[in-house]
Structure 1
């Protein structure tokens, strides 16, 4: 987490998550560490990815939970309170196929209107990869283990369980694209 934007993002995420949501804070730090592994793949966008990685779950902070949908609450906080970079806010709002969960919650139109998905598939995929290969405690894991953990934690018939089931093919494809890009990097 070396970039200026990432340093700021880490301070914001820590201030919001460390005390009230220590496990989310541990996860966010792990997702940011995973993002640092993609520096060579993303080049100039690595600072943006690192920032989105550490902030992606900031909307879980109790004081920010307005709608109860953390991507939307986090993005609004970053936009309205911090006037954060638009691409960063859109990444946070749409991380890990959030549009599908927003649809389950009846919030898809709101999310799409306020925070359109970025056109840069590399960045979108990279954030999916970072989030979906990091455990709730901030350790690295496989995407299959992470999907199984989410389903077990929330229940397969819960709103999140339904979302994960619907999103899994796209999550797996995103992770595969990032892993292929990593494998193509010179050693």
Structure 2
């Protein structure tokens, strides 16, 4: 992976999100910025993380929303329209414990079959960390505040609310593992 991948991801994401849903674009830029801070932790996979962070919410773009489940819609778009690397599509499809939300929506089997979760725990955790420590406007947040914000925005009884309550312990654990990896980096 090279910086070329990140530039391409930025162009694609900006084209799909910046004018149709600018707040989602602001969030995406914040998530990608966080990903850039993890270069030292991820080494050779840093560019893949930054690209996946840049594309993680592309499925919210109105023209791409087929199932209404943005991780699946985004990953399908990337696979079918852009023929992206399998790892990149799988990261987008499974970002931030999407399998749990897919279960709430009756799409778990479809998501797991089309885009199996990567067996690369640090990379998966890193994308969770970036997404779940960034507000909808792209600012830094704690994972606890982000989970509370999502619950407040969607409501506790919505599919997203049920999902985020179930996923919260996993989110906090993933964020903790990445924070520990960051703390272990030489200064």
Q: Which band: TM-score by shorter chain?
A: over 0.9
Which whole-Å CA distance do the structure 2 matches of 1:177 and 1:45 have between them? Answer: 17
| Mapped contact 1:59–1:69 kept (Cα < 8 A) | yes
The match for 2:186 is: 186
The Cα shift of 1:157 comes to 1.1
| Mapped contact 1:4–1:47 kept (Cα < 8 A) | no
Which whole-Å CA distance do the structure 2 matches of 1:38 and 1:92 have between them? Answer: 17
TM-score (ref. length: structure 1): 0.99
Q: Which runs of 5+ in 2 are unaligned?
A: none
Which whole-Å CA distance do the structure 2 matches of 1:88 and 1:19 have between them? Answer: 24
The Cα shift of 1:3 comes to 1.3
| Mapped contact 1:39–1:46 kept (Cα < 8 A) | yes
Which whole-Å CA distance do the structure 2 matches of 1:158 and 1:19 have between them? Answer: 27
Aligned CA-pair RMSD: 0.7
Output one character per residue of 1:124-180: Cα deviation in whole Å (capped at 9) or x when no partner: 000000000000000011111000000000001111000000000100000000000
Quick check: 1:138 aligned with 2:142?
Answer: no
The match for 1:49 is: 49
The Cα shift of 1:86 comes to 0.6
Paired residue total: 186
Quick check: 1:68 aligned with 2:53?
Answer: no
Which whole-Å CA distance do the structure 1 matches of 2:139 and 2:84 have between them? Answer: 28
The Cα shift of 1:83 comes to 0.2
The Cα shift of 1:24 comes to 0.4
| Mapped contact 1:30–1:139 kept (Cα < 8 A) | yes
Kindly report structure 1 stretches of 4+ aligned residues shifted beyond 3 Å: none
Which whole-Å CA distance do the structure 2 matches of 1:106 and 1:157 have between them? Answer: 16
Q: Which runs of 5+ in 1 are unaligned?
A: none
The match for 1:156 is: 156
